[in-house]
Amino acid sequence: MENRYARQEILQNIGNEGQQKLAKSHVIIIGCGALGTVAANNLTRTGVGKISILDRDFVELNNLQRQMLFDENDVGEPKAVAATRKLESINSEIEIIPIVKDLNHTNVEEIIKDADLVLDGTDNIQTRMLINDVCVREKIPWVYTGAIGTSGMTMNILPGAACIRCLYPSIPKPGSLPTCDTMGVLNTITVIMGSMASTEAIKILLEEAKPNNGKDSNLIVYDAWNNSFDDIIVRKNEECECCAKGNFDYLNSEDREVITSLCGRNAIQITPANTKEMNLRELASKLEHLGSIKCADFILLFKLEKYEVSVFRDGRAIIKGTNDKNVAKSIYARYIGT
């Protein structure tokens, strides 16, 4: 039988032994958008043995400009599910697990605990800080990646080395950072940064990535439009609240219900304190006389006057049409439950 990985195994950097290491590895990709779809595609074709793909959202038409695994037929389907279906048709020899959830302090430890590596495909610093807390505490390597406009960045965060809080000691004020919704994004930069992050992930899994001086990290910044490349050394902060002092502030939150404003989307996401599997079709039958309903196995879409409510099987909901958390909580309580 022809060897699927023949062109890869003849690389001096990988070889047969390296391929076996990849086959035994488990990578969790957090966020299956522009960066996450590129990374998932690359690592699936590379032969990483187990890939978990977590995303809280569903495919929208405006995603297709840059989220490379999706097409028009996927619109309305959970991203993790649509991506898994595509990836399984690419490589049936590996295990791919879709996780349709919001990553937050109530579930992050359980989700990440078995990972050999975590790859960042998220779109917000709050989630990255949470990933950082767990990975630093559990000594799991992770790859931070971001892209906006025509530029992007990536940084390996290895056990014992500088972490993301050495780079960003605190979260910037809301609205102070540009987003893809306000600034836009070139689809080539997300492909480039997703591929760079995938390469770093492979190097880490093969134990070829090392921190500078045993403790410093490298932040790679690339601008596709100007063809500029910078390699910035991020020094380990010996006073860092996370990697030096062991204060895991984002993991140890007292809030059990998680309410998140989705930047640039005029929407609020609510994750209830006690998540449990919901019978979406049963909920649909209760709501069908109140507004327009579409229901599938993983998601229910409910349109009510100026609001659109997306309900997922784990009880999580996205309420579009408001940025007011109290309004969103009221809609959730009235139509879904407390």
For the stretch 262-314, pLDDT in tens is 766 788 988 876 666 788 888 888 888 888 899 988 889 989 878 999 999 88
Say if 240 falls within a structural domain.
no
pLDDT at residue 213 in the model: 78
3-state SS string for 261-288: EECCCCEEEEECCCCCCCCHHHHHHHHC
Helical H segments across 142-186, by residue range: 164-167, 180-183
Same domain, yes or no, for 262 and 230? Answer: no
DSSP SS3 for 147:
strand
CA 296 from chain centre, in angstroms, equals 23
Say if 152 falls within a structural domain.
yes
Task: Assess whether pLDDT exceeds 60 at residue 38.
Answer: yes
Say if 137 falls within a structural domain.
yes
pLDDT at residue 259 in the model: 79
Most confident of 97-101, 171-175, 296-300: 97-101
Same domain, yes or no, for 123 and 196? Answer: yes
Residue 233 near residue 218, CB atoms below 8 Å: yes
For residues 321-328, average pLDDT: 84
CA distance 54 to 201: 17
- Give φ, ψ of 63 to 5 degrees: -75, -25
48-87 confidence digits (pLDDT tens): 999 999 998 889 898 999 999 999 999 989 999 999 999 9
Mean pLDDT, the chain, integer: 90
Say if 1 falls within a structural domain.
no
Same domain, yes or no, for 212 and 317? Answer: no
Say if 30 falls within a structural domain.
yes
Query: How many Cα atoms are found within 13 Å in the side-chain-facing hemisphere of 100?
Result: 24
For residues 93-108, average pLDDT: 92
pLDDT at residue 175 in the model: 44
Lowest mean pLDDT among 3-12, 29-38, 211-220, 242-251: 211-220
Of 119, 97, 96, give the one whose Cα is nearest residue 201: 119
Same domain, yes or no, for 28 and 97? Answer: yes
Integer CA distances (angstroms), 274 to 100, 118, 337, in order = 16, 25, 12
| Burial status of residue 202 (CB atoms within 10 A of its CB: 0-12, 13-18, 19 or more) | buried
Same domain, yes or no, for 105 and 187? Answer: yes
Same domain, yes or no, for 174 and 101? Answer: yes
Q: How confident is the model at residue 11 (pLDDT cuts 50, 70, 90)?
A: very high
Structural domain of 295: 258-335
Same domain, yes or no, for 278 and 163? Answer: no
185-195 confidence digits (pLDDT tens): 999 999 999 99
Write out the two tokens for 143. Answer: 């790859």
pLDDT at residue 330 in the model: 75
pLDDT at residue 194 in the model: 98
Say if 242 falls within a structural domain.
no
Same domain, yes or no, for 228 and 266? Answer: no
Say if 251 falls within a structural domain.
no
pLDDT at residue 275 in the model: 63
Q: How confident is the model at residue 325 (pLDDT cuts 50, 70, 90)?
A: confident
Residue 209 near residue 155, CB atoms below 8 Å: no
CATH number, domain with residue 311: 3.30.310
pLDDT at residue 1 in the model: 61
CA distance 336 to 316: 10
CATH number, domain with residue 41: 3.40.50.720
CB burial readout 203-234, b (16+ within 10 A) else e:
ebbbeebebeeeeebbbbbbebeeeeeeeeeb
Same domain, yes or no, for 163 and 281? Answer: no
Same domain, yes or no, for 215 and 294? Answer: no
pLDDT at residue 297 in the model: 82
Residue 202 near residue 18, CB atoms below 8 Å: no
Same domain, yes or no, for 190 and 320? Answer: no
Of 87, 76, 107, 2, give the one whose Cα is nearest residue 39: 87
Q: How confident is the model at residue 232 (pLDDT cuts 50, 70, 90)?
A: very high
For residues 128-156, average pLDDT: 96
Same domain, yes or no, for 209 and 79? Answer: yes
What pTM was computed for the model? 0.82
More confident residue, 170 or 111: 111
How many domains are contained in the chain? Answer: 2
Say if 245 falls within a structural domain.
no
* DSSP structure class, residue 154: E
Interstrand relation of 95-99 and 151-157 (parallel, antiparallel or unpaired): unpaired
CA distance 287 to 292: 8
